């Protein structure tokens, strides 16, 4: 992190001095109190990260960030503002900021977010060239029929996915073929975030997904579109607003895609539940088997001992032959009833094995 160049653009000189002192130990820091000197410096150098105040005295920080994005310079912007509203955050994200810090803030929060964004920038840089090359090659020959063919292939691929990561990989393959830059959120008992090539999503993307996952099936803001279902949301960052036909077709396609994702997420959840039930039944069968064996051994030993003891005591009791025959018949009859009661345990064991086989076939299929 020693070579990371951080610029601070804010008209509050005391604040800038504090931030410079805090960051100087780990980063190269330059401070600008107004837009003119910042713009001039930008013609000579490009920072890795800019901490930008939204409300500057001579120009909006939003405008400066838009200029930076349009210039094509590879630089991440964290907005710092006292106006902590959804509209303000959406404005920040619309000009490609990667995070938003609301004033007042703790110094440790600032340090953590600067470190996270610096790490995010480093990872993103390693992916940009390969991603751009593969995306451009894939989309040069894309036609409308190829798009729908890709969607059908995605649905076929979905049924082979047994976990969220493989499902996300199939989704990003489809999005790449559609020339769409996306990130994905899946919700079960927890919230799971996914980005292409197993990268991390930016903090502000996670924040936007969380804020907008209840805003209807399709929610547009700027050139971005959020697509939502009960357990799935994904953010499209580059909807083609300048091509009305393509834009309309893509909206139809992504509405279908989110339904397929939702169905498969629910299927994966059911499969995981069945897998858990299968494991529990296996464990229960093992316990029942052990209990039956133990019961049979003890019961057999007890009955054998009792039978031997009773028969050997006939002569001591000085019983008639008719009485001995009666007691022997009584003993044999009760032994048969006890044996039939033991058979009930085996029938229960057989029933549980049948249930296990049904659950196992469901899990495997």
- Which residues are 49's β-sheet partners? 6, 76
Are both 159 and 242 inside the same structural domain? yes
Task: Output 147 or 321, whichever has higher pLDDT.
Answer: 147
Domain region containing 201 = 136-269
27 SS3 class: coil
Residue 233 in contact with residue 209, Cβ under 8 Å? yes
Tokens for 111, please give them: 């340090």
User: Shortest CA distance to 302 belongs to which of 345, 334, 330?
Assistant: 334
- Quick check: 337 pLDDT over 50? yes
Eight-class DSSP state of 197: G
Q: Which of 240-254, 269-283, 290-304, 335-349 has the lowest mean pLDDT?
A: 335-349
Residues 292 and 262 in one domain: no
Nearest-5° Cα angle at 342, 340 to 347: 90
Whether 260 and 282 share a structural domain = no
Last residue within a domain, chosen from 68, 100, 127? 127
Taking residues 62-83, report their average pLDDT: 90
Output the DSSP codes for 260-321: HHHHHHHHHHHHHHHHHHHHHHHHHHHHHHHHHHHHHHHHHHHHHHHHHHHHHTHHHHT--H
Question: Can you read off the two tokens belonging to residue 97?
Answer: 């900021």
Q: Report the DSSP pairing between strands 232-236 and 182-187.
A: antiparallel
Average pLDDT for the chain: 82
Q: Which of 92, 127, 162 is the last residue of a domain?
A: 127
pTM strictly above 0.95: no
Q: Which two tokens stand for residue 12?
A: 């509050």
Please determine, for residue 1, whether its predicted confidence score (pLDDT) is greater than 50.
no
Q: Which of 76-80, 86-90, 271-275, 296-300 has the lowest mean pLDDT?
A: 296-300
- Give me the phi and psi of 169, to 5 degrees please: -60, -45
pLDDT band at 140 (very low <50, low <70, confident <90, very high): very low
Which tokens hold the place of 275? 């897998």
**Would the pLDDT of 311 be above 70?**
no
CATH classification at residue 264? 3.30.450.40
């Amino acid at each position: 992190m020693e070579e990371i160049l951080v610029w601070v653009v804010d008209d509050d000189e005391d604040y800038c001095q504090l931030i410079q002192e805090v960051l100087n130990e780990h980063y190269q820091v330059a401070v600008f109190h107004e837009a003119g000197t910042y713009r001039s410096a930008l013609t000579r150098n490009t920072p890795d990260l800019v901490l930008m105040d939204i409300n500057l005295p001579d120009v909006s920080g939003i405008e400066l960030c838009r200029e930076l994005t349009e210039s094509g310079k590879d630089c991440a912007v964290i907005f710092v503002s006292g106006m902590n509203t959804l509209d303000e955050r959406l404005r920040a994200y619309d000009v490609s900021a990667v995070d938003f810090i609301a004033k007042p803030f703790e110094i440790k929060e600032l340090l953590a977010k600067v470190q996270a964004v610096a790490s995010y920038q480093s990872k993103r840089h390693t992916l940009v060239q390969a991603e751009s090359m593969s995306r451009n090659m894939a989309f040069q020959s894309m036609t409308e029929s190829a798009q729908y063919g890709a969607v059908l292939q995605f649905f076929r691929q979905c049924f082979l996915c047994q976990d969220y990561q493989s499902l996300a990989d199939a989704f990003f393959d489809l999005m790449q073929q559609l020339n769409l830059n996306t990130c994905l959120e899946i919700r079960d008992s927890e919230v799971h975030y996914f980005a292409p090539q197993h990268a991390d999503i930016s903090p502000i993307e996670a924040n936007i997904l969380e804020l907008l996952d209840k805003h209807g099936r399709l929610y547009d803001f700027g050139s971005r579109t959020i697509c939502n279902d009960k357990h799935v949301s994904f953010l499209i960052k580059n909807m083609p607003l300048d091509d009305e036909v393509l834009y309309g077709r893509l909206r139809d396609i992504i509405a279908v895609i989110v339904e397929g994702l939702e169905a498969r997420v629910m299927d994966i959840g059911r499969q995981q539940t069945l897998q858990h039930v299968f494991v529990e039944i296996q464990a229960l069968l093992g316990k029942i088997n052990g209990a039956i064996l133990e019961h049979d051994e003890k019961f057999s030993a007890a009955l054998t001992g009792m039978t031997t003891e009773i028969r050997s005591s006939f002569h001591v009791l000085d019983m008639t032959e008719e009485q001995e025959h009666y007691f022997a018949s009584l003993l044999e009859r009760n032994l048969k009833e006890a044996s039939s009661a033991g058979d009930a345990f085996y029938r229960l064991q057989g029933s549980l094995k049948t249930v296990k086989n049904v659950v196992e076939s469901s899990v495997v299929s």
